[in-house]
Structure 1
Amino acid sequence: MRRALLAALLIFPWADAGGAATLQPGVGQPALNAALGQAAERGDVAGVRNLLKRGASPRARRADGRTALTSAALGNHVAVARMLVAAGADPDPQDTARNNALLVTGETGNVGMLREVLRAGPDLTRTNRFGGTALIPAADRGHVEYVRELLKTGIDVNHVNNLGWTALLEAVLLGDGDPRHTEIVRLLLAADANPNLTDRDGVTPLAHAKRRGFASMVALLTSGRGR
């Protein structure tokens, strides 16, 4: 078992939050942390539980900065995330791709995972590689229930990413006027999204919706609110 854990460490080196290696009887802590990260990626609930009991750190980070919680979020392993959060996992550290547990959920749209990550008290202002909060990719991908849940947190609905787009602009520009994206436009407006914030060319969400022939979005944006 020891040999297998040490081999895993060579492939996916992990350290605890402070970079130290606290040794456990018989097995080095870094090896346990490596095994924990891999178990989280697989969604191995029993394995994660066992490794945490043996002293693996829920706050450990891989060499590229990825945490076990982010790995669980990427795989939609909700039960594993619940266990890691209960053990004290930090939701905020970002890996070299600027992913963390919350930002990943904005892409997957997994509401159950979002709720587990929110229990850990994440920093809602963290941004992904495009400079967007978790709300923006969720609006882009049409994750209606996710957007509804995330808006309850008070996240900045008017945040502008590196492309110069808000969540409202992305719902219009990257959707196809379908019911899911239209409902997201309504939710964002109801949460006080500013319909007058333009893209870098000075074009409003309403103007984009008109150009693309999205009648339902046009009606919402003309009124300026989704209530």
Structure 2
Amino acid sequence: MILRRFLLALVLACMTTVVLADSYEASISSARLGDTRQLVSLLNRGIDPNTIDEQGNSLLLLAAREGHLRTVQAILQYRPNVLHRNLAGDSALMLATLGGHRDVVDELLDAGAELNHDGWTPLIYAAFQGHLDLVEKFIERGADVHALAPNESNALMFAARNGHIQVVRRLLQTDIDLYHQNDRGFTAETWALSSGNTDIARLIEQERERRRPIRLEIN
């Protein structure tokens, strides 16, 4: 009798493990593919909304990265950690920004996603990709224009290197540092020049001249 009970418990434990493993894989796949109905069903059955894959991507990160707005909205109903960052240091907001998924960005901002933190930031990603509207949105919401990526480059430097002149124009309206050098010794102006973006380099030079204090000569 005791042996029979032990074997029954062992079988049930194995079945439970298989079910949990299947549910885990299904939740990851549903978030990535935007299968909102299946994911909600799994969440209602007890799957943790903060479930992560091997790279540290949560369900929210996976859905945000792919731009699945309805799936993101559904996950947010279960109060996941919107500040979670994967092993590469990316948050859901950062990945949505990188992909230019504007509706998802709005949802995440309204849910309390973080704009300012160490490492890459949403503003830097927006500038890197040339998403002017997102750069504007983040600045209006208090993004730190002085934030630096791991290579010590700021948002202006990436926009200048990548040729995003409208983003450069917008960033030049802030008090962003025009003289800052990254770990390769580039400033925004010299990085623009090295990339062949002479029009951008000229804009930055003009802004440097404009900011230079006027010296009054006393006769």
Q: TM-score range by the shorter chain?
A: 0.7 to 0.9
* Amino acid corresponding to residue 48 of structure 1 in structure 2: L
8 Å CA contact 2:27, 2:59 repeated in 1: yes
Rounded to whole Å, the distance in 2 between the matches of 1:4 and 1:154 is 50
User: Against the structure 1 CA distance between its residues 32 and 182, is the aligned structure 2 distance closer, same or farther, given a 3 Å change threshold?
Assistant: same
8 Å CA contact 1:81, 1:113 repeated in 2: yes
Moved more, 55-64 or 181-190: 55-64
What SS does the corresponding residue of 2:177 show, helix, strand or coil?
A: coil
Query: How large is the RMSD of aligned CA atoms in angstroms?
Result: 2.8
Counterpart in 1 of 2:79?
88
What SS does the corresponding residue of 2:166 show, helix, strand or coil?
A: helix
Question: What is the TM-score of this pair, normalised by structure 2?
Answer: 0.75
Counterpart in 2 of 1:40?
31
Counterpart in 1 of 2:46?
55
* 1:136 matched to 2:124: yes
Rounded to whole Å, the distance in 1 between the matches of 2:140 and 2:86 is 26
Match of residue 180, structure 2, among 169, 178, 197: 197
* 1:186 matched to 2:186: no
Uncovered stretches (5+) of structure 1, i.e. residues with no partner: 11-30
8 Å CA contact 2:189, 2:200 repeated in 1: no
User: Against the structure 1 CA distance between its residues 204 and 88, is the aligned structure 2 distance closer, same or farther, given a 3 Å change threshold?
Assistant: same
Rounded to whole Å, the distance in 1 between the matches of 2:87 and 2:16 is 24
Rounded to whole Å, the distance in 1 between the matches of 2:198 and 2:15 is 56
Which of the two has higher C-alpha Rg? Answer: 2
Uncovered stretches (5+) of structure 2, i.e. residues with no partner: 1-13, 211-219
User: Against the structure 1 CA distance between its residues 163 and 86, is the aligned structure 2 distance closer, same or farther, given a 3 Å change threshold?
Assistant: same
User: Against the structure 1 CA distance between its residues 8 and 166, is the aligned structure 2 distance closer, same or farther, given a 3 Å change threshold?
Assistant: farther
Identity of matched residues, %: 26
User: Against the structure 1 CA distance between its residues 53 and 166, is the aligned structure 2 distance closer, same or farther, given a 3 Å change threshold?
Assistant: same
